Structure 1
Amino acid sequence: MASLSTEVPGDERATLLAFVESQRAGLRETLEGLTEEQAASRPTVSELSLSGLVKHAAETEYAWLRMAQQRPNDRLRSAEDYRNGFRLVEEETIPEVLAFWDQVTAELTAFIEGVPSLDESFPLPEAPWFPKDTKVSMRWLLLHLVEEFARHAGHADILRETVDGTKAMG
C-alpha cells in the first residue's frame, strides 16, 4: 500500500496533495498483477469491480477538477450512462484508464499549485445533494478527494482480497 514519503511536506498545499496522492496510489495499487478479466470481475454481491472503481475515481477527479476550473466536463455522464462510469466498456483497458488518470493527476496538481490561495472557491452545481448556491474552497476539494479515494480504496482492498487473497496491509 502507498505510504507517505519520509520527507513530510511543510506547507498545507503540499501536505493535502500528498494525502490525495497517497489515497489515489492505494486505489491504483489494487490492480497490480491482475489480468483485465480479474480486475473486471465482481467477486462480491455488489456490482463493483477493481477496474470499475479506478475508472470511477479517475472520472470523479476529472469532474471535480473541471468544476474547480469552472470549465465544461466533456466526460459528464447522463443518468442513463451512470453505470458505465463503474465498468470498462467497449475497448477500454486498464492501461488507458490509468493513463487518463495520470493526465488528470498532473492537471489537478498543476492547477492547485497555481491557485493563489486554497481559500479560492468555486460554485457547486445544482443538485439535490448540494445546498443551493453553495461555494467550496480548493482546500475543501482536496479533502473531498481524500475522502472519495479512501472510501473506494477500502472497497478495492476487499475486492482484491476476494479476487486472489492479496492483502493491502500485512
Structure 2
Amino acid sequence: MDTSSPQAQHPTPSGSRERDDLVETLQRHRGFLLFTVRGITDEQARTRTTVSELTLGGLIKHVAETEAHWATFMTEGAGTAPDIDWPSIDWQNPPPEVAAFQDSHRLTEDETLAEQLARYEQVAARTDELVRTLDLDTAYELPKAPWFEPGATWTVRRAALHIVAETSQHAGHADIIREALDGQKTMG
C-alpha cells in the first residue's frame, strides 16, 4: 500500500455512507433549530419578536409537521395531500385545510413547547429510519401546488434533502427570533 498518498475513501455497501451523511446532516440542522428554544417558556415560545407572524414555538411545530408530511411522501407519495386552489383562497375565511395549514405555524394556547419538542423528536426518529432503509431512488409525483411544476416527481433522496433545506431555513429564522427575544444566538 502506498502510504504517501491519502487513503482512498471507498463507498460502503448499499449506499450506507450516503445514508449516514443524510441522517447526520438532518440531525445537525435540527440541532441548530433546537438550540434556539433551549431554556424558554411557553409564553416566550409564542412571542413574536419581529414583524413576521413567526414564533419559536410555531417554527418547531411547523418544521415537525413539514418533516412528517415529507416522511409520508417518502413512503406513499402525495397520497392524501389536499389539492388546494391557493390563488382563489379567501384568507379572511379560509377553508378548513388552509386554516389547518395556518395553525401548523402557530403554538396555540392549548399546546406546549414540550409537547411539540416531543412530537418533533418522534418525527425525526421516523425520518432518520426511513432515510436509512428506503430506496433513495424511489420517485413519486409531487402534490398539486403552485410552487411545484405540474407532474414533477421527486425521489426519496430529494425529499430528504428538502427536509434539510426546510429545517436549515427555519433554524435561521428561529435564530433571529431568539436573538430579538433575549439576545441569545446559535452562533457568533
TM-score, reference length from structure 1: 0.86
CA contact (8 A) 2:138 2:156 kept: yes
CA contact (8 A) 1:66 1:72 kept: no
| Displacement over 6 Å in runs of 4+ | none
CA–CA separation in structure 1 for the residues paired with 2:74 and 2:17: 21
C-alpha distance after superposition, 1:47-81 (max 9, x if no partner): 110000010000000011111111557xxx71123
CA–CA separation in structure 2 for the residues paired with 1:68 and 1:62: 10
Q: Could you say which structure has the larger radius of gyration?
A: 2
Instruction: Compute the displacement of 1:147 (Å).
Output: 0.8
User: Quick one: which of 16, 31, 56 aligns to 2:22?
Assistant: 16
Runs (5+) with no aligned partner, structure 1: 1-8
Query: Are 1:97 and 2:98 matched, yes or no?
Result: no
Query: Are 1:63 and 2:81 matched, yes or no?
Result: no
Query: Are 1:36 and 2:54 matched, yes or no?
Result: no
Tell me the C-alpha RMSD between the 2 structures.
1.8
In the alignment of these two chains, the number of paired residues is 158
Residues 90-169 of structure 1: pairs in structure 2 closer than 5 A: 90-115=109-134, 117-169=135-187
CA contact (8 A) 1:30 1:168 kept: yes
SS of the residue aligned with 2:99?
coil
CA–CA separation in structure 1 for the residues paired with 2:80 and 2:123: 14
CA contact (8 A) 2:22 2:131 kept: no
CA–CA separation in structure 1 for the residues paired with 2:72 and 2:109: 25
Instruction: Compute the displacement of 1:82 (Å).
Output: 2.4
Letter in 1 for 2:124: T
TM-score, reference length from structure 2: 0.78
CA–CA separation in structure 1 for the residues paired with 2:53 and 2:147: 23
Partner of 2:86: none
Runs (5+) with no aligned partner, structure 2: 1-11, 82-95
CA contact (8 A) 2:46 2:56 kept: yes
